[in-house]
Amino acid sequence: MEIQSIKNRFGIIGNDPQLNYALQVAAQVSATDLSVLIYGESGVGKEVFSQIIHNLSPRKHEPFIAVNCGAIPEGTIDSELFGHEKGAFTSADGQRKGYFETVNGGTIFLDEIGEMPLGTQARLLRVLETGEFIRVGSSKVLKTNVRVIAATNKDLLKLHQKGKFREDLYYRLNTVPIRVPALRERQGDIPLLFRKFAGDFAERYRTPVVQLDTSAQQLLSSYSFPGNIRELKNLAEQISVLSSDKIVDAETLTKFLPRKDNITRDLAIGTAGSNMPIVNPAQEHADAGTSTTEREILYKFMFDLKKDMNELKSIMFEMMSRPGTGASGTAGMGNYPAPFSSGNILPEPAFNTPAVTDYKNEGGNPTFVLHNSGDDITTAQHEEVEESLSLQDREKEYIIKALQKHRGKRKDAAQDLGISERTLYRKIKEYDIDE
């Protein structure tokens, strides 16, 4: 069956190569009885792939059931899957057939298989290997012919290393693995999906269809979408209902995106034409070595630093434009103090700031010459000003300033820094800050 016809039949939107490959594998394996393990983050649509495999298989006319292993209490999951006899436990008033018995001949989709208890895993392994199971409270062996499709958003091998998942069951389930890509890996499909959801909600609520302009599409495609397609659908519904403008721009879209990505959105919108880099949220998500809180403080520092340097440049140009500026590039400044004092911040690594040398002109007034090739500030005594750009030092400095500003009130200081009060308390202890 062609990939496009599968998309049309099951309502799948997108042309990403990773998505197409996953659909191709699902279509090829559907004709067999092999066990399939579907990988993917929460919200990417793993259950749709299980339905594709079942409906394209010879079992398509037999029952199909989806079971969320994480939603069933540990004490009752064996009864749900394999059934129980009367009196097997306190509330067992009669005999009950489990899913493996009622779906005989069909397909069972076991979602969140990583949440399944170890005892139940042993029972499942026996079903996969021999087709046999025993009801809870019984000694009679029953047979079943059920195809098992499992899905997980966790690394099952890591769970095995922690003693929470059986290695033999992992290899038995993982006969054919299918990886469903996260939405942030399908950036080109995001505008298409939004358009589909927006059209559906416009029809449901009988309102005009909202559309994204170019800037909004770029912003939406750069967002990390930790909730994947489920989050995008919720976002489209919010905008369809709450937005007064039916042509949505980036500024309007920003109001609907979660607060935790405000800094990333500011970078995407507010730095157009500047030298500041636009941060890729997908790369941020992959960077496990740096915490979100530390990145936020770093971004805040970068913006403040950029602002300080722009103000510094403005002062320099103003001084150069005063009367007395000669063709040689000197600026007569009268009795104005040098703009670079020991209290000013001059970050060497980030910007190439012109050096300033003190001379005397013919009238005896001090004159400052700008050297564009220099990285130091040189006075007659050749004093040098250095500034450390260590992230830890900057982070500590901002925390101290915030505490001083709010007179030691941690809650207000944490809000000003954009971090939680708990994180602020940890940072105070880590840097040994005297409050």
Per-domain boundaries in the chain: 3-181, 184-286, 295-371, 391-431
d(CA 392, CA 326): 44
Query: How far apart are alpha carbons 409 and 413 in whole angstroms?
Result: 6
Contact 183, 220 (CB under 8 A): no
Topology (CATH) of 391-431: Arc Repressor Mutant, subunit A (1.10.10)
Cβ neighbours of residue 211 closer than 8 Å, sequence gap 6 or more: 195, 198, 246, 247, 248
* pLDDT tens for the chain, residues 1 to 435: 689 999 999 999 999 999 999 999 999 999 999 999 999 999 999 999 999 999 999 999 999 999 999 999 988 999 999 999 988 887 788 889 999 999 999 999 999 999 999 999 999 999 999 999 999 999 999 999 999 999 999 999 999 999 999 999 999 999 999 999 999 999 999 999 999 999 999 999 999 999 999 999 999 999 999 999 999 999 999 999 998 888 999 999 999 998 654 444 444 444 433 333 334 434 444 444 444 455 556 656 666 676 677 777 767 766 666 555 444 444 444 444 444 434 444 444 444 444 444 444 444 444 444 444 444 444 434 444 344 445 677 788 888 888 888 888 888 888 888 788 778 877 887 778 876
391-431: same fold as 3-181? no
Domain 3-181 carries which CATH code? Answer: 3.40.50.300
Domain 184-286 has CATH 1.10.8.60: yes
